[in-house]
Amino acid sequence: MKTSIKCGVKPWRVEKHDPGNNHPFIELYQGNYPVVLVDQEGSVFNGENKSKQTDVVVIHPKTTYVNDRPSWLINDRVKYTVPNTKLNKQQPLLIIAYRNQEFSKDGIPADLVEHVDNYKTSELYLYSGKYTIVIKNEKYEIIDQYTIEI
């Protein structure tokens, strides 16, 4: 789905970091799949005001977390735990997984986590395939890099 935002118009943010600031729509919706609201005439509901700034509002279920990771990220993916031998005593570490050959082309990571204080997760959630795992220190210097296959 392509989206475009007109300059100066902020998109709706239904779920907030602080649940007390969530949009009322998300508090009313108790389902476990995304929905589009429809008014009594069957038209897509995109707000009560006359000045429509969006075509459609999609209400997603509240995010739940497993090991400090959003459950929607974990679904249909395989958990990969970075070996302890790769996690040296330097803290914090940024652990980044790139799809095969995307690291060398400045690609977008498939997943990343920050490893802090030896108790935070070093688990990545990845689809099947080949990946380059890059570990950076707090100065963003690469301290380790290796490939895996899930």
Per-residue pLDDT of the chain in tens (150 residues, 90 and over written 9): 343 333 333 444 566 667 777 766 677 777 788 888 787 888 887 666 666 666 777 777 878 888 778 888 888 899 999 988 888 777 889 999 999 988 888 899 999 998 887 666 688 999 999 999 999 998 999 999 999 999
What three-state secondary structure class fits 135? strand
pLDDT in the model for residue 32: 80
Q: What is the pTM of this model?
A: 0.69
Compute how many other C-beta atoms are within 10 angstroms of the C-beta atom of residue 53.
13
The answer to whether residues 31 and 51 touch, using CB atoms and an 8 Å cutoff, is: no
Domains of the chain plus CATH, in order, are 1-62 (no CATH), 69-149 (2.60.40)
Nearest 5°: phi and psi at 28? -80, -30
Entry field: residues in the chain? 150
Angle (CA) 133 135 138, round 5°: 155
Structure tokens that stand for 28 in this block: 């009313």
